[in-house]
Amino acid sequence: MAKPGPAAKRPPRSAHQRIDARKPSPQQRAPAVPIEHLLEALPDAVVLVDAGGQVAYANGLLETLSGYSRGELFGQLIEFLVPERFRELHTKHRFGYVANPRARPMGVNLDIYLRRKDGTEFPADIALSPLQTDSGMVVVAALRDATERKEAQTRLHRLAVLEDRERIAKELHDGVIQALFAVGMNLQATEAKAGDPEAVRARLSGAVDSIDVAIRDLRNYIFGLRPGILADRQLDQALHLLVEEFQEKSGVVTAVQIDERVAAQFGNTATQLVQVTREALSNVARHAQATTCRVSLLQHDESAVLEIDDDGRGFKPGRGGSRGQGLRNMRERIEAIGGTFSVESSPAEGTTVRIRLPL
């Protein structure tokens, strides 16, 4: 290991100049501060490495960060601070850098680890800059412990994964499960018609169509696309189609009233309206025992109001105990796009699901 020469104990000569306020120039208006003091005051650990890779200077923060004293660091190859398994690669990179020196900002080398005196390692952000001095080129490296940044990054990543899972669960619940439920209802109705071969054939073909829809929706969710029913339709057409399918499968007579100009104002958020309507209709089919239903999308004041209204047996909203996710999903979808969601219902009085979105 090379012994530190006396020159190595302080910054190279050109870095040793004073910044002098008495001779201001446009670039140089800072107060007179010896350069060593400046290097010590920097908020980052700083190390100067000569063209041969030896440490020529280290500030106090590098001592704190690495656990080594300056005396131990001076004259060492910089790879001294690199975990053994990365040393060969680092040496190669260093040769490459000396051959083609250029300023490199923090965070570009995202996966560099450094080794402390006690053998522990930490991820580091390192910025490099070449500096010509009277005694040749030195590389100025500013180092920062990146542990917290990396942990924050990992936390953010985890959060994004969780959000994504939540989104997928929601899409599967509101889209695919409801579609499969419709198939189930269809097949149940088929049992009752078993004596009539034509009716059975029609029911079975309806069930096959529903399965096709579920598969197409599933594919679309997987690729983060909009639900299939919207893929090639406008919102008003998609709502009409939903109602048509619902009516056919549930036998609940349903009136539709959609203001096309209002429907045309929804872009990407149309997906949310379709899914909410699908779930609300699925609830009518499963829970309401309704005779009639009404789906409307109209303008009231400055808002678009979507209502799914049934004359069924109603329930007491807000009473915990339901293990279902449908109502919660609906509320979350609508609130996420800046709207309000409400359910009005009381036993034997029917149910109204109302969504209000500012236009």
Residues that bind Mg ion (CB under 5 A): 283, 324, 326
Phi, psi of 126 (to 5 degrees): -130, 130
Give the residue with the Cβ less far from ligand ATP, 307 or 310: 310
Report the partner that residue 351 touches, choosing among Mg ion, ligand ATP, none (CB closer than 5 to 8 A by kind): ligand ATP
By the 8 A CB rule, do 263 and 236 touch? yes
Give the Cβ contact number of residue 268 at 10 Å.
Answer: 9
Closest CA to 281 of 240, 338, 226, 322: 240
Closest CA to 184 of 165, 210, 205: 210
- The nearest distance, CB 303 to ligand ATP, in angstroms, is 23
Angle at 19 between CA 5 and CA 52, to 5 degrees: 30
Give the Cβ contact number of residue 175 at 10 Å.
Answer: 25
Binders of ligand ATP in range 278-337 (CB under 6 A): 283-284, 286-288, 310, 312-315, 322, 324-327
- The nearest distance, CB 219 to ligand ATP, in angstroms, is 22
Give the residue with the Cβ less far from ligand ATP, 47 or 288: 288
Q: Which residues contact 340 (CB under 8 A, 6 or more apart)?
A: 334, 355, 356
Question: Which residues are 352's β-sheet partners?
Answer: 309, 344
- The nearest distance, CB 263 to Mg ion, in angstroms, is 24
Residue 11 touching ligand ATP (CB under 6 A): no
Report the partner that residue 180 touches, choosing among ligand ATP, Mg ion, none (CB closer than 5 to 8 A by kind): none
Give the residue with the Cβ less far from ligand ATP, 236 or 310: 310
Report the partner that residue 189 touches, choosing among ligand ATP, Mg ion, none (CB closer than 5 to 8 A by kind): none
Report the partner that residue 356 touches, choosing among ligand ATP, Mg ion, none (CB closer than 5 to 8 A by kind): none
Task: Report the alpha-carbon distance of residue 173 to residue 325 in Å, rounded.
Answer: 8
- The nearest distance, CB 148 to ligand ATP, in angstroms, is 40
Give the residue with the Cβ less far from ligand ATP, 57 or 341: 341
Report the partner that residue 218 touches, choosing among ligand ATP, Mg ion, none (CB closer than 5 to 8 A by kind): none
Using CB under 6 A as the binding criterion, the count of chain residues that bind ligand ATP stands at 16
Angle at 272 between CA 269 and CA 274, to 5 degrees: 110
- The nearest distance, CB 250 to Mg ion, in angstroms, is 14
- The nearest distance, CB 116 to ligand ATP, in angstroms, is 52
For tokens 């034509």, the residue is 198
CB-closest chain residue to ligand ATP: 324
Phi-psi region of 351 (alpha: psi -120 to 50; beta: other; left: phi over 0): beta
Q: Tokens in use for 207?
A: 């069930």
Report the partner that residue 284 touches, choosing among ligand ATP, Mg ion, none (CB closer than 5 to 8 A by kind): ligand ATP
DSSP state of 175: I
Query: Is the C-alpha dihedral spanning 246, 248, 254, 259 positive or negative?
Result: positive
Give the residue with the Cβ less far from ligand ATP, 205 or 322: 322
Contact mark string toward ligand ATP, 201..240, x via CB under 6 A = ----------------------------------------
Cα 309 to its chain centre, rounded Å, is 35
The site for ligand ATP (CB under 6 A) is made up of 283-284, 286-288, 310, 312-315, 322, 324-327, 351
